[in-house]
Chains A and B, each alone.
Chain A
Amino acid sequence: MSTIPSPPKDAAFRARCLHIRKEILQMVRFGKRGHIPSAFSVVEILVTLYDHIMRFQAETPDWADRDRFILSKGHGCLAQYALLADKGFFPRDWFKGFCHFEGELGGHPEERTPGVEATTGSLGHGLSIAVGFALAARLQQRSFRNYVVLGDGECGEGSVWEAALAAAKHGLENLVVLVDYNKHMSYGPTSEVCNLDPFAEKWRAFGFAAEDVDMVAEPERLRALLEQSPLQAGRPTALICHTIKGRGLPYMENDLSWHHKSKISEGDIEKMIRDLEAAHA
């Protein structure tokens, strides 16, 4: 998969993703650190959800009928913060405090932040909580939908599969799992550290309606699938989103030395922004 698909099918969508990546770097500028590749990896998924799929009211973050979203791979939070600020959940000014002692935004999402439904950062928690959300919607006869983004490395946690069994048992049509399948974890490729393939088949075997989505070649397909979900009556949905860790900066893509960087300088940021724009052009 290449980062420079040609020709772009949806220039506006690509421009939005570029904008969000640049916003991520603005936060890193102030924090001088962060999980940049994990955030870049999930940008297309989050832009699709926040721009096109989810119902929410930024000025009333606890609106009862809002769709629920959990970024279970909490280390990708820079991407979520960028979108939450973009949608008006909190002022963009909060970027300046990223990871600072008196800042509002830390290195993993916390429930106290407007628009963040669950504290994550410790992996393997989000899907269980999302099952609780989906059951709550059913008990309260509310129509809100529940989206949870898992990391691929996160799927090594047994609790993910405990929750998957339960989601299928309860036939949670109002639950959609999106796996950010960038094929890398902190130490190395998931195929080497703990292979997940055949991945979609695993989700199907657990009782989900599962589809693979190539987020480079056909990101618009994710939107179509989400609009159609549930993909099968009586089943939760799993969308295996094939992404690229560090996507957007050719030298960062799939380079694990970037997984979590600190001491990032102003000059580094300026260079990364220029390189993002160059790669996008």
Chain B
Amino acid sequence: MRKRGLETVHDLARQFEDVVYVGSDVGQGTLDGFRRDFPDRFFVEGISEAYVIGMAAGLAMNGFIPYVNTIATFLTRRCYEQIAVDLCMNNHPVRLYANGGGLVYAPLGPTHLAVDDLALMRALPNMTVIAPCDADEMERAVRASHDWSGPVYFRVARGGDPIVSKPEHDFAIGKALVFSEPEDLLLITTGVMLQPALIVAERLAELAIGVGVIHVPTLKPLDRQTLMPNLRKARFVMTLEEHSTIGGLGSAIAELMAAGERHPQGVLKALGIPDRFPDRFGRQENLLAYYGLDADAVIRAALGFLKLDVADGRTRRKTGL
């Protein structure tokens, strides 16, 4: 995903003279092709994120579309104020390409784990927040971003994630994608949590439990038009995100339900990372399992969630439990 998104930036630079690349200190050889083709528009500025955001703002204020590439935690935590003041306050079209969204850098420890990035970025007025599920969707998102107004945050996953997005979903920034209609349970995902959600849906179908799946690649602006009718239909809603349960997808859906003019009938359970700094290493898969975000754990959580209602005697027959 990471590589495809960057290759797409290179491709955009071929089409549009206003596209500029700004890196801090990412891996050697990153976008060598871009540097060869457009050396004037290729900047590697060193470990200086606060400066990089201001500099990118200065370019954007003069008609350029800078794509800033660095590690997610350094982008969101280190220079939050520059993002707020230099980019968001006056709606300047800088694109933040944030590597290692979520638990990607598991072995590197909590300084490198972006588990609050969506919350931080979502809190900023004018910011658009996108977490694609796979390389194909990242390409669509980056392509769509060139003409998008205002700043954009891309949460970039590890790479090699199974391709599950489809061209027929007709990706657009700000649009939620319905993979299957809500039945007994509606799973709402963002980023690479779509993949386990699809597995969960398949396995619960074997137990005669109908699971709808809606993928929300754009956390902000949230696609109220698609989400609200589905939230009204669903009795049980579960959100799934590789992010703190504070401020991310679960919060966004809860805010939507709380603000609904006709309050949805469903109840919401938000699965995510608890409110504490990660304290284990290993691989991304290890941490996802640790936090109950792998398919097996999500199935257990879903069954527990549905059983709550079984105790009321309302859905016993429907869920078959």
Instruction: Write the residues of chain A forming the contact surface with B, with a CB cutoff of 8 angstroms.
Output: 111-112, 117-119, 122, 124-137, 139-140, 158-159, 162-163, 165-166
B73 to chain A, nearest CB (A): 18
Counting from the closest, the 6 A-B pairs by CB-CB distance are A132-B58, A128-B54, A136-B62, A162-B51, A162-B48, A159-B50
Stretch at the interface among B1-9, B78-86, B217-225: B78-86
Chain A hits for B89, CB < 8 A: 111, 119
A55 and B45 CA atoms in complex are apart in Å by: 30
Identify the closest chain B residue to A136 (Cβ).
B62
**Contact between A132 and B57, CB atoms less than 8 A apart:** yes
B59 on the A face (CB < 8 A): yes
A158 and B61 CA atoms in complex are apart in Å by: 23
B46 on the A face (CB < 8 A): yes
Chain A hits for B143, CB < 8 A: none
Q: List 11 extra interface pairs beyond A128-B53, A137-B62, A165-B48, CB under 8 A.
A: A111-B89, A117-B61, A128-B82, A129-B61, A131-B51, A131-B58, A132-B56, A132-B61, A136-B61, A136-B62, A162-B51
Given A111-B90, A166-B45; A118-B61 close (CB under 8 Å) = yes
Given A119-B85, A129-B57, A129-B58; A136-B51 close (CB under 8 Å) = no
Chain B hits for A137, CB < 8 A: 62
Given A125-B85, A128-B82, A158-B50; A135-B90 close (CB under 8 Å) = no
Chosen A-B contacts, 18 in total, with CB atoms closer than 8 Å, are: A118-B86, A124-B50, A125-B54, A128-B54, A128-B55, A128-B58, A128-B82, A132-B55, A132-B61, A133-B62, A134-B58, A136-B58, A139-B41, A140-B62, A159-B48, A159-B82, A163-B54, A165-B46
Instruction: Write the residues of chain B forming the contact surface with A, with a CB cutoff of 8 angstroms.
Output: 20, 40-41, 43, 45-46, 48, 50-64, 81-82, 85-86, 89-90
**Contact between B54 and A159, CB atoms less than 8 A apart:** yes
B124 to chain A, nearest CB (A): 14
**Contact between B54 and A122, CB atoms less than 8 A apart:** no
Chain B hits for A126, CB < 8 A: 54
Identify the closest chain A residue to B55 (Cβ).
A132
A109 to chain B, nearest CB (A): 12
**Contact between B64 and A136, CB atoms less than 8 A apart:** yes
A136 to chain B, nearest CB (A): 4
**Contact between B61 and A131, CB atoms less than 8 A apart:** no
A135 and B60 CA atoms in complex are apart in Å by: 11
A82 and B45 CA atoms in complex are apart in Å by: 37
